[in-house]
A and B are shown apart, each in its own frame.
Chain A
Amino acid sequence: MDIRLEGIGHSYDDFEVMRDITLDIPNQQIICIVGPSGCGKSTLLRFIGGLERPQRGQVLQVGDAPKDCLNPLTYIFQDFALLPWRTVKGNISLVLEDHGIRGAAAREIIDDVLARTKLTDFAKALPKQLSGGMKQRVAIARALAVKPAVMLMDEPLSALDSQTRELLMDDLVSLWSRQPFTAVYVTHNLAEAVRLGHKVVVLSRRPGQIREIVEIDKPLSERAFGDADLDAYQKRLWNLMRDEARAADEELIHV
């Protein structure tokens, strides 16, 4: 299943946040979206996932989601969005219950996703007992449980410290290598973008428009921390973004 964005534009009152965004999100690729803060990245992701409607243009789903897919468009949020009153297991079963999956069938899925995210020993823990990195792994496990066709990630690692971020990036890469998934990955961190993205979409400052799409050919599994090729891509992205970021920063002061 592919996603196609056609001429998306949106304004809040007379405040234009996004203009004419056309983009293809092909199956089994990770598309990273980078851009200065306030350029509409989160808003765009809400449009893709159907949590909000754009005023102009449309979001198209091309082809059907696989049959066993319970929730084709699945989010991973920056602040994890775990229910604090449910255990790790309970948080995952939450998203299965509405599909009528309970008992043994649910247990099978839960055990599988917990194993894939290395959380098996924490099934009975409450979110308050977990570190930020662990919470985000629970959120990833929860997303995997509904077998999404497309994962929508809004700065999923931004609330974590840099070591945890590295570890989780490795986890995401190995998850993808074992079973490629489609993802739209919003970030303001260029290192994450070049590490995880097959394509990196650079947005301009508000109103967000696509400035450039940078393709990174190197296979995900061969990319590593401190990779020279990736550094070159990261420099290129930063050169594209620097002026936008500065302008966006100054703009906020004038509000």
Chain B
Amino acid sequence: MSDTSKRTVVFRGGGFAPKPQAWIGVMVFVVLILVAEWGTRSGWISALTLPKPSDVLETFRQLYASGLLFQHLGPSLARLVVGATLGVSIGISVGVLIGLFSHVRSGLVPLIAAIFPIPKIALLPLFVIWFGIGEGSKYALIAFGTFTPTVVATYGAVDNVDRTLIRMGQSFGLSWWSIVRKIILPGALPGILSGLRISLSIAIILLVAAEMLGAQYGIGAYILEAGSLYDLERLFAGVVILSLMGVIVNAIISFIERRMLGWRS
């Protein structure tokens, strides 16, 4: 053995474990915006293709200074909050019932499966007839759109609660209601929250759709108006607001997850 050659073993492990690196994400945004700014200034991106990022910023500033920003943002946020709260709370309740009771499950799962793939925007005229052209139809659209994904995520989450924990509860003589409240609901929370991420993104999409189809104020109405005038600066300012809304909603859910799901390993 002594005369044989020595060399280190070739390393072939590692990888396949992506780690989040926040600054790269920020860099991508910054680089894209700088390229757009440089391109539009130097002229190889025509003003009809893309607005100048600095102009969009200026538009945004004016929007804020004139007070129009809150005139549009206020109603939009109200619609989002009311509609999503309705849809999510009914969705979680129905999802839990489906997860707990065989009859509810057999009765509702096919129904949910049937309405899940319907693009809810297609139903807006129907909601207008049912709930009026005002706020009612917008609430209903957003509520309905968030309801279905919430139901599906919730009953999936309830199904995935560790059965041995439920047997444990029964073996200690816990009441049915205690088992639901102390074992099933906390156990389903991770799944419900990740469903919420999807539902709330859908809520923002539907919000804009509803406002485009009939609203005086709201981010959707603002974007529609800008679009029909081919005012790209304002169009982009509106789009930026929407994407900020999405980012903020996501951040709120991440915050709730950190606070309430710290027990996960």
Contacts and interface: CB of A to CB of B under 8 A. Distances in A.
Nearest to B165: A81
Contacts of B165: 81, 83
A146 B174 CA distance: 12
Chain A contact residues (Cβ within 8 angstroms of B): what range?
20 to 34
A70 B172 CA distance: 9
Contact of B186 (A74, A85, A98): A85
Contacts of A70: 173
A126 B178 contact: no
B175 A75 contact: no
B164 interface: yes
Contact of A128 (B164, B178, B182, B265): B265
Chain B contact residues (Cβ within 8 angstroms of A): what range?
10 to 19
B164 A94 contact: no
A32 B217 CA distance: 75
Given A95-B172, A97-B178, A51 B167 contact: yes
Nearest to B177: A98
Main secondary structure of the interface of A (DSSP, over half): loop
Contacts of A95: 172, 174
B164 A71 contact: no
A51 B172 contact: no
A98 B182 CA distance: 11
Contacts of B170: 51
B228 interface: no
A79 B164 contact: yes
Contacts of A94: 172, 174, 182
Nearest to B166: A81
Interface string A160-182: 00000000000000000000000
Contacts of A128: 263-265
Contacts, number: 51
A49 interface: yes
A79 B187 CA distance: 16
B264 to A, nearest CB: 7
B183 interface: yes
B102 interface: no
Contacts of A142: 172
Interface in B151-195: 164-165, 167-168, 170-175, 178, 182-183, 186-187
Nearest to B190: A85
A91 B183 CA distance: 11
A219 interface: no
A51 B265 CA distance: 29
A66 interface: no
B175 A49 contact: no
Nearest to B179: A98
Contacts of B168: 75, 77, 81
B162 to A, nearest CB: 8
Contacts of B183: 83
Contact of A98 (B164, B167, B171, B174): B174
B175 A98 contact: yes
B205 to A, nearest CB: 33
Contacts of B167: 51, 81
A51 B186 contact: no
B256 to A, nearest CB: 14
A77 B172 CA distance: 12
Interface in A70-122: 70-71, 73-75, 77, 79, 81, 83-86, 94-95, 97-98
27 contacts: A49-B171, A51-B171, A70-B173, A71-B171, A73-B171, A74-B171, A75-B168, A75-B171, A77-B168, A79-B164, A81-B164, A81-B165, A81-B167, A81-B168, A83-B165, A83-B182, A83-B186, A84-B263, A85-B186, A85-B263, A86-B263, A94-B172, A98-B175, A126-B263, A128-B263, A128-B264, A142-B172
Task: Identify the 3 closest CB pairs spanning chains A and B, nearest first.
Answer: A81-B168, A128-B265, A85-B263
